Structure 1
Amino acid sequence: MNYEYLFNIIHDKDRVRFGKNIEEKYLSDGLKRVKGVADILVFPLTTEEVSDVMKFAYENNISVTPRGAGTGLVGATISTTCGIILDLSLMNKIVELDEDNLTITVEPGILLKNLQAYVEERELFYPPDPGEKDASIGGNISTNAGGMRAVKYGVTRDYVRGLEVVLANGDIMNLGGKVIKDSSGLDLKDLIIGSEGTLAIVTKAILKLIPKPKKSISALISFESLHKGIDAVIKIIKKNANPTAIEFVEKDVIQNAEKYLNLKFPDIKGQAFLLLTFDGDEELEIESNYNKVREVTLESGAIDFILLNKKEDIDRTWQIRGALVTAIEAVSEQEPIDIVVPINKTADFISYTKVAEKKFGIKIKSFGHAGDGNVHLCVIRDGMEEEEWNEKSHLLLKALYNKGKELQGLPSGEHGIGLNKKPYFLEVTDRVNIEYMRKIKKVFDEKGILNPNKLYE
């Protein structure tokens, strides 16, 4: 294949790399364990360049794997066939801030942390808050990323008003817009969100903003056991206390992150914790909400309730919460899982992980978003020999995903499926669902060149 033709599309030779000149980081993802293959790496700067690259790929039946910041955890950006890696990280501009319509139009390569900082400096707020702040917005859209604030504000999908995308054949399509309502035919925009780059490549996004809350505080609540803490969550939600986030974590997981960051968690007794945030404009309303939570959790057997109202205490505590996975990964290979179950089934699922841990002889650390039933598990290798690890971890993961299905849950709440979860996703998802996903793929990408072998394929 004469890839030299791409120089007619990408006029800057520094933005085209061939074969051995492709750095390993572009062949892997955030875990850096699986290495893919590719003939060429391209860094487009414009929608037109993306379109021209896709036209070339389509005409020559070349696979294309889109990627952004490379922080994903499921292998969705790993190229499995020799072809083109299309890295969108240089398409990172803010195109327009429309304060009248409360929208911001951005390119896909802009990092979440940069977008959030930009709007908050202007007293605006982009609520989706996945743990990985170095992720790109395009990646957030491709996985419908959630995060800790989903219990109050929702997930990425709830803030995408419009998309500009490039299809597999190079066509450019505009979906949605700045409007709030849309009953104009099939909602193709929502098909693209969460499709992990298998249907189209996002080149611009119109995102909804809201006014920035004037005040935010956090509360840390301790329990004798995680089961008691999870049981209290339903009561918190029914109290209509409107927390921004409700996180759960056990003491040993916190201790691991404390050691990794050399930071100290607030001095609080107990073996398991709920960490909540409350935000808003009215101090009296916030105070009323956290007092409701204080009352209901102490009635539910909480050992202690600590209010964190100093910025340094809040920042330190949430920094520890944000480093839980990284801290585990620093000492042992682990398989990250983000199964989501109905909120009232969270305790049942956590209890099952304790049983599975003993049955399969593999350590499991759990934490997650108690307010929306999104359970994060780290299945830890802990020095196990590769053959034994591969065999035992596969059986354990299969059991965990099947238990999630039994509890009316789903395989992923926010990380996506990619390569790593694909076999389990295919096993626990109804056949007719997979069949129609594949049919939709065929409509958008009849040659199957966009991010092949992922998710439902």
Structure 2
Amino acid sequence: MSEYEYGRVTQEIIDRLNEITPRRVYTGDEINDDFTHDEMSIYGKAKPEAVVEPLTTEEAAAVMKLCNEHKIPVTPSGARTGLVGGAVSIHGGIILSITKMNKILGYDKENFVVTIQPGVLLNDLAEDAEKQGLLYPPDPGEKFATVGGNVATNAGGMRAVKYGTTRDYVRAMTVVLPTGEIVKLGATVSKTSSGYSLLNLMIGSEGTLGVITELTLKLIPQPKAVISLIIPYETLEDCIATVPQFFMNHLHPQALEFMEKDVVMDTEKFLGKKVYPKEMEGVEVGAYLLATFDGDSEEQLEDIIEAASEIVLEAGAIDVLVADTPALKRDAWAVRSALLEAIEADTVLLDECDVVVPTNKIAEFLTYTKSLEAEADFRVKSFGHAGDGNLHIYTCSNDMQEEEFRKQVSVFMKKVYEKATEFGGLISGEHGIGHGKLDYLAESVGPVSMRIMEGVKTVFDPNMILNPGKVCYKL
């Protein structure tokens, strides 16, 4: 039983919310079903008592102050593309949706930063920055997630292997605390030694410590040339074993993804595209690397392609296919970006984990994971970021009862997370913890780390109203 007793959203509260955010408060049948779940429905559905859409920091602060006074739980929400139940209002109350806070506020090209509201979509920011001759490097697979959501989970993505994760590009932010107070964290500078980094504490906190209402993000100049390579292998083990060679030979790929053949073929069927070869030179393909390189000129990339081709062919690649036209490069990455969507479209019951392990342990970890499939009644599918060890493992079934599926998946996940921890890895590389992975986090990091995180949560949110029951504090 929780020690926290939450208030209800009464008609009086609704009236006051309507004063703060006129015509942007929704209740009852006005609430779209999308607000009851995220993209991983296995973690349940919960309908909030109200959905509120602020347009400004001041509106968000007034909503938080009101809810804190009445101890009403608040769940921050972006595009709801999460996979761990992080934006599900499991304790009722209101959902504070930031999707209407979607303006790109301006560029400071001399300092290479852009200031935006948190509801800007990743795709829109990427396209707008490109028009300025700039690049926002973080590149999670879901291009229509909000950037605020990316920051809240410290999303990684495909370019993390070269450019780092979202955390590396957040210079400053405005945050509304659970009390309704407004704080500005960080600055338009490249380094700091000015006390505890509250900015970095907020990044990846999944909306449990504060509501982000404005972001200042680092940009870099747009690369002048980009090219991708499709590299087929006979086995997944050979495919993964090649990865360290890219770095040992100073090739610095912008992205380096691995995909199993079956997942790729299913996705091509889903998209109606044929990009990746099933067989080459009489050898059946078992897995692929998809590598992208960028540089200052086409000539520089030609040298990289030659060096990379020599390395992977010596390491067992069947061949190297160069995606040297915009259409072929677009199609190759369209397949990669749609892998999860294709799995979701063909699966009734689905769960996932996105463990991250040292790169020299990827092959051994995947072999172990695949071996567990023989003990279960579901299928295991995988793909991920070969360059940084962030692996996406999916359990899929179309014919099991949900109760039995959950039971078997629980056993599977426990073994997978234990193996990741044994290998020196962590249970999430970019999707976060939400409420779906909370118990696994506790087992992985231990009671002392959990106690420290709970203490941080309590300092920020003494009434436990902001996204309660997520990440570290189980109610």
Q: Do Structure 1 and Structure 2 share a fold, with TM-score over 0.5?
A: yes
SS of corresponding position for 2:208: coil
- The match for 2:39 is 30
Q: Does 1:149 align with 2:159?
A: yes
Work out the CA distance in 2 between the residues paired with 1:328 and 1:181: 41
Work out the CA distance in 2 between the residues paired with 1:8 and 1:307: 58
Shift of 1:258: 0.7
- The match for 1:340 is 356
Work out the CA distance in 1 between the residues paired with 2:309 and 2:380: 30
State the AA in 2 paired with 1:220.
I
- The match for 2:382 is 366
Residues 146 and 414 of structure 1 are in contact (CA less than 8 Å); yes or no, is this contact kept in structure 2? yes
- The match for 1:445 is 461
Work out the CA distance in 2 between the residues paired with 1:362 and 1:26: 29
- The match for 1:388 is 404
Residue correspondences, number: 455
| Contiguous gaps of at least 5 residues in structure 2 | 1-9
Residues 241 and 290 of structure 1 are in contact (CA less than 8 Å); yes or no, is this contact kept in structure 2? no
- The match for 1:271 is 286
Work out the CA distance in 1 between the residues paired with 2:264 and 2:419: 26
State the AA in 1 paired with 2:171.
R
Shift of 1:284: 2.5
TM-score w.r.t. the length of structure 1 is 0.98
Work out the CA distance in 1 between the residues paired with 2:94 and 2:35: 11
Work out the CA distance in 1 between the residues paired with 2:41 and 2:367: 31
Work out the CA distance in 2 between the residues paired with 1:424 and 1:359: 21
Shift of 1:271: 1.2
State the AA in 1 paired with 2:36.
L
| Contiguous gaps of at least 5 residues in structure 1 | none
Q: Does 1:122 align with 2:128?
A: no
Q: Among 307, 310, 315, which residue is 2:325 paired with?
A: 310
SS of corresponding position for 1:335: strand
Work out the CA distance in 2 between the residues paired with 1:243 and 1:285: 13
State the AA in 2 paired with 1:53.
V
SS of corresponding position for 2:161: helix
Matches within 5 A, 1:209-220: 209-220=219-230
Work out the CA distance in 1 between the residues paired with 2:198 and 2:300: 39
Work out the CA distance in 1 between the residues paired with 2:48 and 2:401: 30
SS of corresponding position for 2:199: helix
Matches within 5 A, 1:373-452: 373-452=389-468
State the AA in 2 paired with 1:115.
L
Work out the CA distance in 2 between the residues paired with 1:386 and 1:204: 40
Work out the CA distance in 2 between the residues paired with 1:211 and 1:385: 51
Residues 337 and 377 of structure 1 are in contact (CA less than 8 Å); yes or no, is this contact kept in structure 2? yes
Q: Does 1:17 align with 2:26?
A: yes
Work out the CA distance in 2 between the residues paired with 1:365 and 1:266: 18
Work out the CA distance in 2 between the residues paired with 1:32 and 1:384: 16
Work out the CA distance in 2 between the residues paired with 1:177 and 1:295: 45
Work out the CA distance in 2 between the residues paired with 1:456 and 1:121: 41
Residues 143 and 193 of structure 1 are in contact (CA less than 8 Å); yes or no, is this contact kept in structure 2? yes
Name the % identity: 45
Q: Among 69, 82, 88, which residue is 2:92 paired with?
A: 82
SS of corresponding position for 1:304: coil
Q: Deviations over 1:330-384 (max 9, x none)?
A: 1113212111000101011100012111122321011100000011111112311
SS of corresponding position for 1:48: helix
Matches within 5 A, 1:19-418: 19-33=28-42, 34-267=44-277, 269=280, 270-332=285-347, 333-418=349-434
Shift of 1:32: 4.2
Shift of 1:205: 0.4
Shift of 1:393: 1.0
Shift of 1:122: 1.3
Q: Deviations over 1:104-160 (max 9, x none)?
A: 000000000000000101111100000000000100000000000001110000000
- The match for 1:6 is 17
State the AA in 2 paired with 1:17.
Y
Work out the CA distance in 2 between the residues paired with 1:228 and 1:381: 28
Shift of 1:21: 2.2
Work out the CA distance in 2 between the residues paired with 1:214 and 1:383: 49
Residues 35 and 47 of structure 2 are in contact (CA less than 8 Å); yes or no, is this contact kept in structure 1? no
Shift of 1:419: 1.6
**CA RMSD in angstroms, aligned pairs only:** 1.1
TM-score w.r.t. the length of structure 2 is 0.94
